[in-house]
Structure 1
Amino acid sequence: MEKGVRTLELDFSVWGCVPPMYTFPHYLLKHLCDDHIPIQGPCACIGLKSLKVLNFNCVNVAGEVLEYFLSNCTVLEQLLVCESPSLIDLRVVGSSVALKYLLVQDCSNIKSIEIYDAKLISFIYKGEPESI
């Protein structure tokens, strides 16, 4: 990832989203960045400082992990999360977040999405209206 990844897409929907689903290894983010230079930031140490697009499809990913990317990948503009049962709460907060496009689709356990002081151009939620 030293080349400066701009798009990271994890799509495990080839055979449908059937259990057991792939779980994003969030613990690796901290492990990979234990010795990072503070000026570079955590996403820079793993080659994600240029990340603009992040897609999770049929991947278990928690809100805390998504918030980590939003906080540390300063040029992240597009986030798509589809069919992630681990996503319960998501916060997109702060004017420093560069996110412009957010799609949350068919995340069966989602309870809340908080968007505050963000620069979003487009927010799409597709799922059960009573769950959020």
Structure 2
Amino acid sequence: HPPILIGGGGEKYTLKVAAKHANKWDLFGGTPEIYEHKLEVLYNHCENIGRNFNEIIKTHSLRIIIGENTSVVKDRFKQVEEFIQTGKSFKEVSNWPFIGTYDKIIDSFQKYIDLGVSEFILSFRGPPDFKQLREFAEKIMPSFK
């Protein structure tokens, strides 16, 4: 069968199904602490059924807004908010792991890599604009080669 990716963090059902059937497991959003907790739950489900936890590829889906400084990030967030209208303020999201300056984003990626994440699914937010994607390729990706 083709590889199966199961996404979600439900501890009683979703992670149990992932332990049994997933080739890859994905969690959308959250903090490294939340991700680590979900990994522990997934590990326990794997132990309970006799599956090797390390057989499952860990992935993380995330929304990302980057910029060279906080002012640029804030301006980009305002564009996103006008485009998507989430109702959130910059203050509410500025502590999210993948909204911030290049250095913050690099640190956030490293935290997830240290937890065992080997694949990331990125969603650049806002109106269509390749500038952030280009910046990501030039400023973030070289840190992980």
Identify whether the pair has TM-score above 0.5, normalized to the shorter chain. no
**TM-score w.r.t. length of structure 2:** 0.30
Q: Which of the pair is proportionally richer in strand?
A: 1
- Greater relative contact order, per chain length (Cα 8 Å cut-off, separation 6+): 2
Q: Which of the pair is proportionally richer in helix?
A: 2
